[in-house]
Amino acid sequence: MLKRDVLLEIRIENIPARFVTSAGEQLKRYAVEALNEAGLPFDSAETFGTYKRLVLYLAGVPAKTDEKVVKAYGPAARLLKGPDGNYTPQAAGFARSRGTTPDKLGVETVPNKGEVLVFETRQPGRQAGKALSEIFPGIISRLQFPKNMVWERTRFRFARPIRSLLALHGDKPVTFAVAGIKSGRVTVGLSAKGSRQLKIASAEKYFKALEHANVLVKDAERLATLRKELSAVSKRMKLSVETDEELLQENLYLVEYPVCVVSGYSQDFLKLPHELVHLVMKKQLKFFTVADTKGRLQPYFVGIRDGVSKGQRNVEEGFRNVLEARFRDAIFFYSRDLASPLAAFKDKLDAVTFQAGLGSMADKTARVEKLAGYLAEECPGTDREAVLAAAAHVYADLTSGVVGEFPELQGIMGGYYAAHAGMGESVAGAVGQFYWPASAKSPVPASREAALVSLAGKLDTLAADFFTGQIPSGSEDPHGLRRQALGVVRIILEKGIALDLNKAVQRAFAPFAALKPDAAAAARERLSALMDFIWQRAEAVFSEEGCRFDEIKAVRETFMAGGDLLDCRGRARDVHSLRANPDFAGIAMAFKRAKNILRQAKAPLDGAPDEAVFEKDEERALYGDIKAMGGRLRAHLASRDYARGLSELLTIKGSLDNFFEKVMVMAEDPKVRDNRLNLMKSLVSLVEGVADLSQLQ
């Protein structure tokens, strides 16, 4: 059967960029569902979008739908005939309702019903165009947007008014109507070129026809053109256009044919912080900043316009005027902020609520300052005074004018204001990097002092939310606690901070427990839940570093007991390395066996094995090896040389194998049995000082 391609274009008034990708995903999903339901096969389905059109393209659609088998189910199969061999009234009634006779009925087994009577009819395939004319209105009406408009008498709801519908199966139009608009084969070209009407001959010729009219419908082609344009600008200027990926994607859905507009601005605006210049251009204007090879901003910008037309210089001038107006606003707020002492911003934090029932941001500042001081005491070699000075001002910029206009710059602006106040590079850096890392892959704070201040802020936020029961579940995480916990893990590991997180988290919980003494029991449970929450983030990091899931699991209890992430990573890495030794698997299996024996025995065990109770040489040999090996292993543990500590286990492999081969642990004599169990316990306790090898698969 001859196949042709199918096209649906929904041309609309300017739609926000953030609506386009979601609408495309929905359009494809609903189309695939509807075509499968209708029995209309296709080779592939793709969707594309611009700010003026949503496009569905189906390749390889036949002229007709598949033949369809329709089954109607009736009463139980046992009711087909009675004892006399005649058809029962139930069977005759079911057949009559389906327009047939009982002899045409079949039997089929249906889940939860058993064998029932069934009547099958075959519906021949129908014209694809007819099916599509019913499918297209349905999928268009199902599209959901963050905001909708009503603009015509049928009160059809859509993101923006629909201006035309183009629908073709090969060269044949698919006719239907939505929101008072009838489908046809006409669309328009680029608006900058006058939106010239185009009559599309066939679905297969659509993309070329639009390209000749200066419209790049396919997202990938439009993005490639945008990248090429920006690259050409960089080469021409011998400077670097900062191609922020998020900004690229946003501009992709603001134009149908991207063209770069390059212009300059006054050097005076470079007095603004780099991040503020970048944010004004990105968030407010969708412009790209320009820098030299050393990353220093240059007084140029690149805007993206939709196609080339007359008046290009007017466009450039318009872009520049808008940019300079925004920069003047930014300079106003920044200059006013610099004229105020940082202490004045901090004093206003009393009026800013942190969370209902948990005080103000001034209260949070006091908690973070105290916790940061504790962390500095726990980490020798840290400049505690710098830590305290930074922690006292990390939230001050929340009441500044710039952060009020640009919340994304909180912390960053605080760093500038701290430097302006003469607080020194160490303190200003710690304030400016307080919210680092901003994402899973972005940098952690540069200095140890900055790292500890950032840790204190994150632990306070995590403790507050867990104490009040605001624990993330599923995809819900309104306060970004997963990111905060991952930040805690990355800071500790990447900065090499040896810290007992158990104690640090207890310190973070303490102020909240004091606020609600009656919730002390719940606080203990939630503290444990927070430790587990942090551990889950650590598991992901260890896995990315090459450790296997069972190796990570083997050190989990060490973390829950001691809270030292750095130490746990060392243990997991050393377990991973030693697994390459063929004898290590045997030791791990023997350890697992010993632990299982203890678990099944369920006997209270006290003290060390009594050598006088040993009955067999294998017991004595194993105990002697454990004592000799134990001293060496403990010495390695003290120096955190877990690789050598684990290697010591290999020295007892022979005596351990002989023990399990020749000795029955669960002897009938209780005294002998308990002594052998104590021998197993001495081995298990020693090995668990490194890792729980029973978790290895």
Over range 196-219, report the average pLDDT.
Answer: 95
The pLDDT of residue 112: 84
- Spatial CA neighbour of 35 closest among 167, 136, 123, 121: 136
Return the sign of the alpha-carbon dihedral for residues 480, 483, 486, 488.
negative
- Spatial CA neighbour of 645 closest among 556, 570, 696, 566: 570
CB 22 within 8 Å of CB 30: no
CB 233 within 8 Å of CB 285: no
* Domain 344-544 matches domain 572-695 at the CATH topology level: no
Dist CA 598 CA 685 (whole Å): 11
Q: What is the CATH number of domain 572-695?
A: 1.10.730
Give Dmax (Cα) for the chain.
Answer: 107
DSSP 116: E
Dist CA 47 CA 54 (whole Å): 7
Dist CA 465 CA 358 (whole Å): 10
For residue 520, pLDDT beyond 80: no
Residue 43 backbone dihedrals phi, psi, to 5 degrees: -85, -40
- Spatial CA neighbour of 16 closest among 186, 158, 189, 198: 158
The pLDDT of residue 144: 95
Residue 647 backbone dihedrals phi, psi, to 5 degrees: -65, -30
| Helix or strand run (H / E) with residue 150 | strand 149-150
Return the sign of the alpha-carbon dihedral for residues 52, 57, 63, 67.
negative
The pLDDT of residue 468: 87
The pLDDT of residue 603: 66
Q: Which tens digit of pLDDT belongs to each residue from 279-337?
A: 999 988 999 999 998 889 999 999 999 987 666 788 889 999 999 999 999 999 999 99
The pLDDT of residue 394: 96
**Cβ burial 182-195 (10 Å sphere, 16+ → b, else e):** ebbbebbbbbbbee
Dist CA 469 CA 312 (whole Å): 57
The pLDDT of residue 521: 67
With H, G, I as helix, E, B as strand and everything else as coil, classify residue 534.
Answer: helix
The pLDDT of residue 309: 65
The pLDDT of residue 360: 94
Q: Where are the domains positioned within the chain?
A: 3-65+127-212, 68-123, 219-338, 344-544, 572-695
Q: Which class in CATH covers the domain with range 344-544?
A: mainly alpha
With H, G, I as helix, E, B as strand and everything else as coil, classify residue 98.
Answer: coil
Q: Which tens digit of pLDDT belongs to each residue from 523-534?
A: 778 888 999 999
Give Cα separations from 359 to 347, 388, 394, 678 (angstroms): 15, 21, 17, 53
Please, which contacts does 400-408 make with residues 24 or more away whose CB atoms are closer than 8 Å?
Answer: 400/333, 400/337, 400/340, 400/345, 401/332, 401/333, 401/334, 401/336, 401/337, 402/276, 402/330, 402/333, 402/334, 402/337, 404/333, 405/329, 405/330, 405/333, 406/276, 406/279, 406/280, 406/283, 408/279, 408/283
Pairing between β-strand 162-169 and β-strand 172-173 as defined by DSSP bridges: antiparallel
At residue 630 the predicted structure's pLDDT band, cuts being 50, 70 and 90, is confident
> With a threshold of 0.85, does the pTM exceed it?
no
Give Cα separations from 213 to 47, 259, 294, 309, 583 (angstroms): 20, 15, 41, 13, 71
CB 369 within 8 Å of CB 392: yes
Report H helices in 312-360: 312-338, 342-347
Residue 48 backbone dihedrals phi, psi, to 5 degrees: -135, 160
For residue 68, pLDDT beyond 90: no
For residue 1, pLDDT beyond 70: no
Dist CA 447 CA 383 (whole Å): 10
CB 323 within 8 Å of CB 369: no
Residue type, 508: A
Residue 555 backbone dihedrals phi, psi, to 5 degrees: -110, 5
The pLDDT of residue 307: 86
Return the sign of the alpha-carbon dihedral for residues 205, 210, 211, 212.
positive
Dist CA 575 CA 169 (whole Å): 62
The pLDDT of residue 311: 64
DSSP one-letter string for 256-306: SSEEEEEEE--GGGGGS-HHHHHHIIIIII-PEEEE-TTS-EEEEEEEEEE
Dist CA 629 CA 266 (whole Å): 74
Give Cα separations from 192 to 125, 262, 309 (angstroms): 45, 18, 6
Q: Which tens digit of pLDDT belongs to each residue from 539-592?
A: 999 999 999 999 999 999 999 988 999 999 999 999 998 888 888 888 888 888
Neighbours of 28 (CB within 10 A): 17
| Helix or strand run (H / E) with residue 373 | helix 361-378
